[in-house]
Structure 1
């Protein structure tokens, strides 16, 4: 979903939309032009996020199609990837469940209309109150440790309909981004299966709890190659077989495979695909998808990233050390990972004129900087772009997951508006997902109602 950054406007035909998702270059260009015309982007609205509705539905369809031969699967969306109620409701309407990792995400999922039975609660730090609420509602719960299972023993209501599982760490190693790899030797998540005595303790924990019927593992996400994910989930399957053999019956009824399909941020191509993911799992352990166990998936980034983009106004252009610096309104407040880990989270950038049409001209190297008050607030270094000027727009591509939905409040910048877009034959239509935050709302969130608390609030 981009316009190439190395040259002027692309002369290649726009790629066809597929059920794998991802919006086309033409879709982005049409949306930016219409957003400027409609006033969603302007001098007083210098930053906004956009999510292509048809692209999201296509991505969901591609996921279901890839698992079409698997008898029983619940596909859940990882709410942290875009914790906005209208987006969650769109995904619920498209047939997804929801994976949540906090009380806030659980509230959002319920408000978005997900039935409790299609919600899965994961978190390494669940309080007793969170556990009790989930089990009372009938929300599925994956315990992250043996100690958490002991809390579940105390809190599980009689007749609870919640499916309860245990997360294990197969310890198969890290991908290219250590911070996104959750099956390492020292990961904070799950029960580390290769630690001395751990596997036996897990098997015994299931033997003592007939209601414990699910196993969960998540190898990691961005930077984790498919073969690594396949090895981790094959290990999960072997553990399920061992638990069933020890129990002398079929105790494990479902396997939660986590998510983690990486996203290609280098160009428009949607790769790897969900079909490639399924093929990898089949090769790693053919019985994993044969229907003996119900499966749960928890994809997030791969469903939305390539279906969204950010558009930011160029406020100033300056020279520094012989390099052009475009100061824009998109920085670490929306692209936090990109700013602090640019080697792992690069974004593609393209240029548009003040009227929202793709900019043309010889490509010059630009630093694309953000508005935050620290020197490292740069989203792209020496990026070849047509010469930028005040009032132009830059688009950050493949940012439909995490970027505009998980803002950082540094410098108390307002959260940008977010809009769903749907391209018709002759125009693009928009629906407000989140209204741009006002400075008054920032003040209210920052304790305005208790403004005198530290001056005369102690009696």
Structure 2
């Protein structure tokens, strides 16, 4: 988003016009930015075989999935529904890796029937595969016990994480693989999100390289993702170019040393779509208390819960008043809970009716939205090559009644004594 002739625009389309055309609240995605991020990541690595599997839990709108398919990505899915959405978008089963956690064998069986690759993250499931599907190739998710990520809620590779098989249990894993003749085609790790320290990532990668030596039929190593993007104009981000150089050097040396012709795989989600997204909301009220000026908007954590759930920072801009005098506002939602998007933010002078834009709204925003307080879900719009497209309709009241079953319960008569 940039200021053009006094108006904030996304690909030359004024944001105010988008708010008028589609109403608010509204999610807007810049498809060209997604393509830019994808190509930046691909170009950062110099290896014979590279595969970028989009972690689609970040944003599963079918049009985003189709764009990823067009760009050449695969899919990292965490539920049967994500698998089916990806198949609907045109992905082949072999382009999809199912990386579940804490699921029952019913979901595993469904994924097997759909023909996708399976990523195993617990020993019991590994044994299940060995007994029931010895002819199927699998991937094993390893927990390297490395603490990394923006905060504990998004750090998933530490010793107390529910994700992956502990690195200390690998001797047992190897015994199971050998005794049950399990075919292991890949190994995988994911340490967390918003990782800035490349050295920490490379340290965890060395752990995975060491384990890779134990699997003679390996076809790929998946190093997960977690690369940090900018949340503020002066913020820092993962230096993907520098990381790509170092990782490519390590990976190529490992392949040469072991004589393995492996694919280097990653599974970015936020890195690909976060910066493409903008959330538009209308200012309802300006409320002055003894110490705070609240700006109340026509949305809440029912639409974007990250600030409340992760204490995530999203830059907030008043696009209705680009030249206004900055003042301090605490931006809050209309949900009957503590519902604060940002405390004491410097925002150009606000009045009721002004449109606020929340940046970095492409990942884990619409996907975490709900109907809490019986509020309706927003519409989604995609902009590509200067044209805007409605890619999800706004919910209406009738949608709230879908799947509800009204029954006539017997009424017990109560008589006065």
Partner of 1:167: 141
Partner of 1:452: 407
Partner of 1:36: 19
Aligned residue for 2:218, secondary structure, equals coil
Partner of 1:314: 283
Q: Does 1:352 align with 2:308?
A: no
Partner of 1:221: 193
Match of 1:254 among 203, 220, 228: 220
Change (3 A) 1:324 1:10: farther
Match of 1:231 among 197, 200, 203: 203
Identify which range, 116-125 or 222-231, moves more after superposition. Answer: 222-231
RMSD between aligned alpha carbons? 2.5
Partner of 1:443: 401
Q: How does 1:45-444 map to 2 (within 5 A)?
A: 46-67=24-45, 69-156=46-133, 160=136, 163-194=137-168, 198-208=169-179, 209-223=181-195, 225-241=197-213, 243-244=214-215, 250-267=216-233, 271-282=237-248, 287-288=253-254, 292-342=261-311, 345-353=312-320, 358-374=321-337, 376-424=338-386, 429-444=387-402
Cα deviation per residue 1:54-108 (whole Å; 9 max; x = unaligned)? 11111111122122x2111221111110021111111111111111001111111
Contact 2:195-2:238 within 8 A present in 1 as well? no
Query: CA shift at 1:156, angstroms?
Result: 2.1
Aligned residue for 2:212, secondary structure, equals helix
Identify which range, 410-419 or 165-174, moves more after superposition. Answer: 165-174
Query: CA shift at 1:334, angstroms?
Result: 2.2
Partner of 1:20: none
Change (3 A) 1:311 1:330: same
Contact 2:314-2:359 within 8 A present in 1 as well? yes
Query: CA shift at 1:409, angstroms?
Result: 2.6
Partner of 2:415: none
- Structure 1 CA distance for aligned equivalents of residues 143 and 58 of structure 2: 22
Aligned residue for 1:327, secondary structure, equals strand
Query: CA shift at 1:327, angstroms?
Result: 0.7
- Structure 2 CA distance for aligned equivalents of residues 167 and 310 of structure 1: 34
Change (3 A) 1:330 1:88: same
- Structure 1 CA distance for aligned equivalents of residues 263 and 252 of structure 2: 15
- Structure 2 CA distance for aligned equivalents of residues 339 and 417 of structure 1: 22
- Structure 1 CA distance for aligned equivalents of residues 247 and 410 of structure 2: 61
Contact 2:80-2:110 within 8 A present in 1 as well? no
Normalised to the residue count of structure 1, the TM-score between the two structures is 0.82
Query: CA shift at 1:269, angstroms?
Result: 6.7
Structure 1: 5+ residue stretches without partners: 4-8, 15-24, 245-249
Query: CA shift at 1:31, angstroms?
Result: 4.0
- Structure 1 CA distance for aligned equivalents of residues 231 and 115 of structure 2: 38
